[in-house]
Amino acid sequence: MRGRPESPPGGRVLRQGITDGSERARPRRPSRPSVSQNRKGPPVTTTIRRLPAVTARVTAALPGALTGVLATALLAGCGTPDPAGGAASPAPVAASPATTVETPLTSEATPSPEATQTPGSALSATPDETGAAKPSAGTNAADVVFARQMVPHHLQALELARLAQTRAGDPWVGEFAAKVATARDTDIRTFKDWLDMWGAEPLPRDHAMPGMQKRAEIEALAKLNGSSFDRKYVTLMIEHDNGAIKLARAEQAGGAFEGAKALAVATVTSLGAEVKELKKYRALLD
- Asked if residue 251 is part of any domain, the answer here is yes
How far is it, in rounded angstroms, from Cα 247 to Cα 254? 11
How many residues would you count in the chain? 286
**pLDDT tens, residue by residue, 81-108:** 444 444 444 444 444 444 444 444 443 4
**pLDDT tens, residue by residue, 188-218:** 999 999 999 999 999 998 899 999 999 999 9
55 vs 52, 64, 65, 67, 286, CA distance in Å?
5, 15, 15, 19, 120
- Asked if residue 244 is part of any domain, the answer here is yes
Examine the pLDDT at 249 and tell me if it is beyond 50.
yes
Tally helices (H) and strands (E) across the chain.
8, 0
C-alpha of 47 from chain center: 68
- Residue 134: what pLDDT? 54
Residue 168 CB: number of other CB atoms within 10 A?
23
132 vs 188, 196, 197, 244, CA distance in Å?
17, 11, 12, 20
Examine the pLDDT at 59 and tell me if it is beyond 70.
no
Exposed e or buried b per residue across 34-57, where buried means at least 16 C-beta atoms within 10 angstroms of its C-beta: eeeeeeeeeeeeeeeeeeeeeeee
Q: Is 4 helix (H, G, I), strand (E, B) or coil?
A: coil
Residue 183 CB: number of other CB atoms within 10 A?
18
Higher pLDDT, 28 or 208: 208
Parent domain of 153: 141-285
**pLDDT tens, residue by residue, 127-160:** 343 444 455 558 999 999 999 999 999 999 999 9
- Asked if residue 117 is part of any domain, the answer here is no
Instruction: Judge contact between 201 and 152, C-beta under 8 A.
Output: no
- Residue 48: what pLDDT? 43
**pLDDT tens, residue by residue, 155-179:** 999 999 999 999 999 999 999 999 9
| Residue of 250, 283, 286, 37 lying closest to 148 (CA atoms) | 250
- Asked if residue 220 is part of any domain, the answer here is yes
- DSSP letter assigned to residue 100: P
Examine the pLDDT at 19 and tell me if it is beyond 60.
no
How far is it, in rounded angstroms, from Cα 184 to Cα 151? 9
Q: Which residues pair with 127 in a beta bridge?
A: 133
- DSSP letter assigned to residue 85: S
**Helices 171-198, 258-285: crossing angle, 10 deg rounding:** 160
- Residue 135: what pLDDT? 54
CA angle 145, 149, 152 (to 5 degrees): 155
What's the predicted TM-score (pTM) here? Answer: 0.54
- Asked if residue 105 is part of any domain, the answer here is no
- Asked if residue 120 is part of any domain, the answer here is no
Predicted confidence band at 285 (pLDDT cuts at 50, 70, 90)?
confident
Examine the pLDDT at 39 and tell me if it is beyond 80.
no
- Asked if residue 3 is part of any domain, the answer here is no
- Asked if residue 42 is part of any domain, the answer here is no
Examine the pLDDT at 124 and tell me if it is beyond 70.
no
CATH number for the domain harbouring residue 240 = 1.20.1260.10
Residue 251 CB: number of other CB atoms within 10 A?
25
Q: How many domains does the chain have?
A: 1
**Residue 168: what are its φ and ψ, rounded to 5°?**
-65, 145
Examine the pLDDT at 281 and tell me if it is beyond 60.
yes
Higher pLDDT, 276 or 96: 276
Higher pLDDT, 246 or 100: 246
